[in-house]
Every structure is written in structure tokens, then in C-alpha cells.
């Protein structure tokens, strides 16, 4: 029995010694507290008071000590002026914010004033005192504590920008076959099964999913989960990415305007995209079409040029069908607006099999980013080096640039009109596909796609008027497989 108990205790200690995924701010702590505990403090409770300053949107705590990392020497608890905010066993890093918190802790307002760390002190050996350090970060609203997942460095990353779960109107079948609000776990598991690099969780007018995301990110450590919300108004739907604060969706005279919402999103470090602008508005979908008054399109970052749900359920799989969003994007390009074309599945069932209506990951938006982090993905989208993939082939590639002989501008960029401009397309697509080079909606050239990865070059003979050079790939059946973003040429 003694031998058995030793084995059990050893296994428990080994398991407990495995650290959780570290997630601390990428800057110095705002306050550092230090102290010592001796054997006389063993098996007691010790309280540590500290003050949270005004304007704190997120609290982050990191505890370290110089004792045996496998031993239960100090366990954390936390209270604010109203009382208990959480406790944890063998967890040394904790965060709390209005919408999410480390498991074991309660999300909610980070009130200014007196807070208290509560140490549960274990049995300490006699002799050397135990030195401890607590680091505190008082993060401002909009200052993000982004998840960390393995990154390949600069390159192309595949993700879905528009997904719903049971935190809004997503549903799926439970084990008994009954349709229920679909748990976020099932949605994220669906993204992981499709090997997506990132997933934007965009619930209608809520951020309640953030708490579950905080819990599940370490488990799904190959799929970056990015905060999002679909701001669902009476005049149109707007995806917001990279913002944790709930955005008030009530656009009306005397309340707020679209432009004020856009300014708030950008002040918080997020991006804003118009969803399914060509969709009809009616009893089945409140405000789905785009009829937003007084829009300053310079404040808009992107537009959902491809919505997978509409393609699958209304347009018979054709991205150029009667409810296509492509004309809206092309009209904005023609008007000189720098809207980045993106895609989104608009999935409401993370368990739906690939190829079925509302399946997650159709289409995929492919972003060239400096790495797999929230900041890098958002920066990549903002820059416009993005293509939309309806082929569902991870090997697909469509990258476009324009050169004047002195400088080369990637898609999403701007270059002045001049003689001798050339467009270069780096491409990999299915056998039998054809590449189209376009100026807005006008086809300039078409070529068969060579096997493997290839680079095709096209001379451009353009007037000094405004142009938007882009590329798309059609499959053997004539349907669009890949859509690039544009290089805008100014006169």
C-alpha cells in the first residue's frame, strides 16, 4: 500500500508540474511586489493588499517563488472591494477582465481601489526562507492580452473570419440528435479538424464567448482564437475583429452613427468589415442587407466579398450568383475606397460536414502575416495581402504585385500610374484552372494555370485614370476558386 501511494503521489506531482500556456503582456509589469516566507508561515493564510488604478480594463497577475516548483508552497486567491474574485491551485498566472477571466476566477469590472491577494501557504521547510515575487499589470481598455500559439514566422495563414456558436444563434445536434445551441467547444473543434490557423468568433452583439475562449485556447493550441463580434444593426451587419469591449449596435438618430462605431473600434485597436452587403433584409434576417446611412468608407477596413452561407444555401454554390457581394466590393474599388476583400463562412454549425450548407471554413481567408498572432493577423488583413480561397485546397496560392521597375507594391497597396507597369501573379491552383487578370470588373488577360507553383507576368498598358488590378482563378467548370485583393493605381 505504501509503495502504491508513493506511485500515485509521484504521478500527481508530475502532472501538476506541467505548466499552463504562459500568457503575459509583452511589456514590463506596472508594479512588482516582493517578500519572504519562513517555516513559521507554513500552513497559514497571508493577505497582500494592493491598489488598482483608475482606468484599468484588465488585471494580470504573475506569481513566482524560488522554492521547489513541484511543491504546493503558495496557492493564490483574489478579492476586490466587493469580495471573492477567484482562487486556484498551482496556477501562477491569472488574468481578469469584464468579459473573461482565467478559469477559477470571475470575470467582471476591474474596479479601482483596494484589492487583495490571498496566499494559502503550504508547509515550508525550515532553514532557507522562501522568496516570492508578484508582478501586476494594469492594462488599459483596448490593450490586448493576446493568445500565444506556435507560429511559422512570416507566411500565409488560413482562417475563417465569420463564425457563430450557441453564444448567439449557432445550433447543432446533440448526441441524441436534438438541435441545441451549439457549444463553442464544438465550433473550435471543427476549425481544428480543418487545420485552420486562426478563427474569428463573431457572435451577434455579444462577447460572452470570450470567457470560454480563454479556457479553450490552451487546449486548441494550434488554432489561434481571435475575439470578434458581429455588430448586428437594423441597417446592416458589421464584423468587428480584435475588440473585447461590447460594441453598442443601436444606430439611430440621437443614439450613434456608423462612423462613431468605426472610430471606437479603431480606437480599441480593432478592424471593421461589412458583412454580406447584397443579402436581402426581411423577416428571416433582420438588417442583413446593407442600407447604412451616412457611411464614410474611409473608416471601413474590409468587406465580405464572399459569404459561404449565401453561396451554399441561396446561390447554388456560385460566388457570382444573384446575391453575390463581389459587385459591392468592385463598386467601392471603382470609387477609390481601399476596402480589403475577405471571405467568411458565416457558419452556424461547427459540426457541419465540409461541403454542406453553413459548414465552417468555406471559404477560407488566407492572410500573409509576420506570424500567427492576433496583432499580426489583423495587420495582415489591414495591409490587404489577402486572398479568398473557395477551392478548399491548402496548397492553393494567389499573390499579386505591380511594379514600375523601381518599386514593387503587393496587393492591398497603391502605386502611381506610369509607363512600363507590370503585374506579377504567384499562383498554385487545381489542374485545369485558368487565371484571369482584371482591372476592376474588366478582364485584361487570361492564361491557363501551370502545374505546381508558378509566377506569371503581365505588361500593363493603362491610362492615367484610376485602376484596380486584381486576379482571380476559375476552375474547369468556370466557377471562381480564388480571388486576390487589388493593387490600386492612381492617375
Longest C-alpha distance within the chain, in Å? 88
pLDDT band (50, 70, 90) for residue 315? confident
pLDDT band (50, 70, 90) for residue 152? very high
Helix 184-193 vs helix 209-216: crossing angle, to nearest 10: 50
Strands 340-344 and 302-307: parallel
**Tens of pLDDT along 156-208?**
999 999 999 999 999 999 999 999 999 999 999 999 999 999 999 999 999 99
**Superfamily for the 395-491 domain:** Immunoglobulins (2.60.40.10)
pLDDT confidence of residue 1: 40
Distances 457 to 442, 448, 449, 484, 485 between C-alpha atoms, Å: 18, 13, 12, 15, 17
Indicate the CATH number for domain 27-139: 2.60.120.380
Residue 8 pLDDT exceeds 70: no
In the three-class reduction of DSSP (H, G, I as helix; E, B as strand; rest coil), residue 13 is classed as: helix
- How far apart (Å, rounded) are the C-alpha atoms in residues 126 and 411? 66
pLDDT confidence of residue 465: 84
Peptide bond into 363 cis (omega under 30): yes
Residue 20 pLDDT exceeds 90: no
pLDDT band (50, 70, 90) for residue 314? confident
- How far apart (Å, rounded) are the C-alpha atoms in residues 292 and 295? 7
Which pTM value belongs to this model?
Answer: 0.92
Comma-separated ranges of CATH 3.20.20.140 domains in the chain: 155-390
DSSP H helices, 353-406, are: 374-383
Indicate the CATH number for domain 155-390: 3.20.20.140
What average pLDDT does the chain have? 93
| More confident of the two residues 79 and 13 | 79
- How far apart (Å, rounded) are the C-alpha atoms in residues 378 and 367? 9
What is the residue-wise DSSP string for 101-167? Answer: B-TTB------SEEEEEEEEE-PPPSSS-EEEEEEEEEEPTT----------SSEEEEEEEEE--TT
Q: What percent of the chain has pLDDT over 90?
A: 85
- How far apart (Å, rounded) are the C-alpha atoms in residues 367 and 377? 7
Q: How far is CA 398 from the centre of its chain?
A: 22
pLDDT confidence of residue 429: 96
What is the arithmetic mean of pLDDT over 125-132? 90
Comma-separated ranges of CATH 2.60.120.380 domains in the chain: 27-139
Q: How far is CA 209 from the centre of its chain?
A: 13
pLDDT confidence of residue 5: 36
The three three-digit cell numbers of residue 76, written as one number: 493564490
- How far apart (Å, rounded) are the C-alpha atoms in residues 192 and 312? 22
Comma-separated ranges of CATH 2.60.40.10 domains in the chain: 395-491
Q: Are 449 and 425 in contact (CB under 8 A)?
A: no
- How far apart (Å, rounded) are the C-alpha atoms in residues 189 and 308? 19
pLDDT confidence of residue 316: 82
pLDDT confidence of residue 230: 98
Amino acid at each position: 500500500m505504501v509503495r502504491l501511494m508513493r506511485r500515485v503521489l509521484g504521478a500527481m506531482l508530475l502532472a501538476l508540474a506541467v505548466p499552463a500556456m504562459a500568457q503575459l503582456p509583452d511589456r514590463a509589469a506596472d508594479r512588482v511586489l516582493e517578500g519572504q516566507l519562513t517555516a513559521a508561515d507554513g500552513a497559514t493564510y497571508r493577505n497582500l493588499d494592493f491598489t488598482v488604478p483608475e482606468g484599468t480594463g484588465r488585471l494580470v497577475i504573475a506569481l513566482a517563488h524560488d522554492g521547489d516548483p513541484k511543491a504546493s508552497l503558495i496557492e493564490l486567491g483574489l478579492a476586490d472591494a466587493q469580495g471573492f474574485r477567484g482562487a486556484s491551485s498551482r496556477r501562477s498566472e491569472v488574468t481578469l477582465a469584464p468579459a473573461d477571466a482565467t478559469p477559477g476566477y470571475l470575470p467582471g469590472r476591474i474596479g479601482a481601489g483596494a484589492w487583495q491577494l490571498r496566499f494559502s501557504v503550504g508547509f515550508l521547510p525550515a532553514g532557507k526562507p522562501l522568496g516570492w515575487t508578484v508582478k501586476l499589470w494594469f492594462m488599459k481598455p483596448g490593450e490586448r492580452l493576446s493568445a500565444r500559439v506556435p507560429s511559422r514566422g512570416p507566411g500565409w495563414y488560413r482562417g475563417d473570419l465569420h463564425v457563430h456558436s450557441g453564444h448567439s444563434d449557432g445550433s447543432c445536434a446533440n448526441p441524441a440528435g436534438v438541435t441545441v445551441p451549439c457549444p463553442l467547444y464544438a465550433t473550435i473543434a471543427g476549425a481544428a479538424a480543418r487545420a485552420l490557423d486562426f478563427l474569428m468568433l463573431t457572435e451577434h452583439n455579444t462577447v460572452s464567448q470570450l470567457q470560454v475562449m480563454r479556457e479553450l485556447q490552451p487546449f486548441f493550441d494550434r488554432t489561434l482564437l481571435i475575439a470578434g463580434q458581429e455588430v448586428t444593426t437594423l441597417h446592416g451587419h458589421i464584423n468587428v475583429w480584435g475588440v473585447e469591449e461590447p460594441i453598442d449596435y443601436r444606430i439611430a438618430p440621437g443614439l450613434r452613427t456608423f462612423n462613431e462605431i468605426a472610430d471606437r473600434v479603431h480606437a480599441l485597436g480593432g478592424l471593421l468589415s461589412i458583412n454580406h452587403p447584397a443579402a436581402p433584409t426581411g423577416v428571416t434576417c433582420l438588417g442583413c442587407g446593407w442600407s447604412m446611412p451616412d457611411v464614410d468608407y474611409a473608416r471601413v477596413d474590409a468587406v465580405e466579398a464572399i459569404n459561404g452561407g449565401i453561396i451554399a444555401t441561396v446561390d447554388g454554390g456560385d460566388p457570382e450568383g444573384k446575391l453575390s457581394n463581389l459587385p459591392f466590393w468592385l463598386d467601392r474599388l471603382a470609387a477609390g475606397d481601399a476596402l480589403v476583400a475577405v471571405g467568411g463562412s458565416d457558419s452556424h454549425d461547427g459540426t457541419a460536414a465540409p461541403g454542406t450548407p453553413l459548414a465552417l471554413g468555406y471559404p477560407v481567408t488566407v492572410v500573409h502575416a509576420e506570424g500567427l498572432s492576433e496583432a499580426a493577423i489583423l495587420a495582415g488583413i489591414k495591409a490587404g495581402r489577402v486572398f479568398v480561397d473557395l477551392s478548399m485546397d491548402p496548397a492553393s496560392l494567389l499573390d499579386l504585385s505591380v511594379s514600375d521597375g523601381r518599386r514593387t507594391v503587393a496587393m492591398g497597396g497603391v502605386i502611381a500610374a506610369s509607363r512600363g507597369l507590370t503585374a506579377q501573379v504567384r499562383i498554385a491552383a487545381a489542374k485545369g484552372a485558368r487565371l484571369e487578370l482584371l482591372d476592376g470588373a474588366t478582364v485584361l488577360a487570361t492564361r491557363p494555370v501551370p502545374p505546381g507553383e508558378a509566377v506569371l507576368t503581365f505588361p500593363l498598358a493603362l491610362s492615367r485614370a484610376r485602376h484596380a488590378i486584381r486576379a482571380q482563378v476559375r476552375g474547369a467548370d468556370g466557377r471562381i476558386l480564388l480571388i486576390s485583393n487589388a493593387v490600386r493605381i492612381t492617375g
